[in-house]
Chain A
Amino acid sequence: MVAQNLFFGVLSAIMGVAAIRVVTTQNVVHAALYLVVVLGGVAGIFILLAAEFAAVTQILVYIGAVVVLFLFGLMLTRAPIGRTSDLDNTQKGIAVVVALMLFAVLAWSQLDAFGRVVIEPGSVQTSGQVGDSIFLQYLIPFEVISVLLLAALVGAVVIARKD
C-alpha cells in the first residue's frame, strides 16, 4: 500500500509539473519533450492500475510514434528554435478561468460521487485477457478502428500532399 501511494504521488507530481510545462513553456521542442514525460508518467499510472498491455502500448504508440510525429510536424512547420515569446495568445486569462471552472465541476462531482472509495486492483489484467476481449467481444469496434486508421492514413496523405 504505502509503496503504491508513494509511487503514485511522485509520479503524479512529475506529471503535473510536466503537463504544466507543456502548456506554458516558450520553447516548442521543450513542450514536446515535456509531453514525453507526461506520456511516460501516464504509462506508469497504467502499471499502477495493473493494466500492463495498455502501459506498453502507451509507450510504444505515444512516445514512440506520436511524439515523433509531433517533432516532425514541428520541423516541417519551421517551428522556432529556442525560446520564443509569442507562443500564447491573448485569451490566456479566459483559458485559465475556463480550465479552472471545468476542474471545479469535475473535481466536485468526482469527490461527491466517490468520496474515499478504495480501489484495489486484484489481479493483473493480462494481455491474453485483453486479446480475448478485443477479438471476441469487441471485434467490431476493432475492425472499425482499423478502417479508421486506414482512413486517417489516406486522409493525412491526401491533405498534406503537394500538388
Chain B
Amino acid sequence: MILNQFLLLSAVLFCIGVYGVLARRNGVLVLMSVELILNAVNINLIAFGAFHDNIAGQVFALFVIAVAAAEVGVGLAIVLLIYRNRRSVDLTEVDIMKG
C-alpha cells in the first residue's frame, strides 16, 4: 500500500466535508460535515503514525475523537438554542451581523 492512497482518501473526505460546511443550510448538517472533516484528519494522523511506526499518531487521533465529541455536543446545544429562538435552524437566516 502506498501512503498516498490514504492521504488522498483523507483529502477527498476533507474537501467533501468542506463542501458540506459551505453548502448546507441546516445547522445539524453542517455539524455532520464538520465530522467528516475531523474524520479525514484522523485518517491522516493514523496513516502517518503507521508510516513512521509511531504510536503518537493513534494517540493524537484518539484525542481528536474526544474533542470532536465534545464539540458536537456543544455545537448541537447551540443549534438547539438557535432553533428555540428562531424556530428554524436555517443558517442563511442567521444574519444579524449583516453590515
Contacts and interface: CB of A to CB of B under 8 A. Distances in A.
B6 A23 contact: no
Contacts, number: 256
Interface in A78-100: 78-79, 86-92, 94-96, 98-100
Given A114-B4, A130-B58, A133-B56, A45 B23 contact: no
Contacts of A116: 2, 4
Contacts of B84: 162
Nearest to A75: B28
Contact of A134 (B1, B62, B90): B62
B80 A77 contact: yes
A68 to B, nearest CB: 10
Contact of A91 (B4, B9, B23, B42): B23
Given A15-B13, A54-B62, A23 B23 contact: yes
Interface size of B as a range: 35 or more
Contacts of A114: 2-4, 7
A102 B58 contact: no
A69 B20 contact: no
Contact of A107 (B11, B49, B62, B77): B11
